[in-house]
Amino acid sequence: MTEILFYHLEAQPLERVLPVLLERSLERGWRAVVETSSLERAEALDTLLWTFRDDSFVPHGIAGEPADPDQPVLIAMDEGNPNAANVRFYVDRAVPRTSEGYERIVYMFSGHDPDAVTEARVAWKALGPGNELTYWQQDENGRWVKKG
């Protein structure tokens, strides 16, 4: 059974939430893959993970290089798992189709995009059987609250 977390982004953008969740994954000793929708977004996330905080960075690379198996975090545009990641993040309208091979799936979608919300509902129904699903939303103070 895979743990699947749905993060409904409303109060904070992906760029503020994703680096923190990746840091927490690395602290657990996990490797991660971030699946995004395009090379342009992969490059933007690459820049973000190097510069999101002055005193820290998330060690990572964009998938497709010989060093992929050694990367703690990979940014990908496809379903591969070349770094044997424990957790997979889906961002920028990339939608999980399966949970196989991962301890955790984190599906992040914008609450300001009605199509993304609809896709999240479809994914919730499709991934529900045989997995542990939770839904997270930010409260007025910006803290994540488990809603389901």
pLDDT tens-digit series, residues 46-66: 999 998 888 878 999 999 999
| Domain locations in the chain as residue ranges | 3-146
CA distances from 72 to 22, 33, 46, 56 (A): 10, 8, 13, 15
pLDDT category, 108, cuts 50, 70, 90? very high
Residue 37: both structure tokens together: 């929708």
Structural contact between residues 53 and 20, judged by C-beta atoms closer than 8 angstroms? no
Residue 146, H or E segment? strand 144-146
pLDDT category, 118, cuts 50, 70, 90? very high
Which overall architecture, per CATH, does domain 3-146 show?
A: 3-Layer(aba) Sandwich (3.40)
Please give the mean pLDDT across all residues of the chain.
Answer: 93
Residues 6+ apart with CB under 8 A from 43: 62
pLDDT tens-digit series, residues 78-100: 988 999 999 999 999 999 988 88
First vs last C-alpha separation in the chain = 17
Structural contact between residues 6 and 147, judged by C-beta atoms closer than 8 angstroms? no
**pLDDT value at position 140?**
79
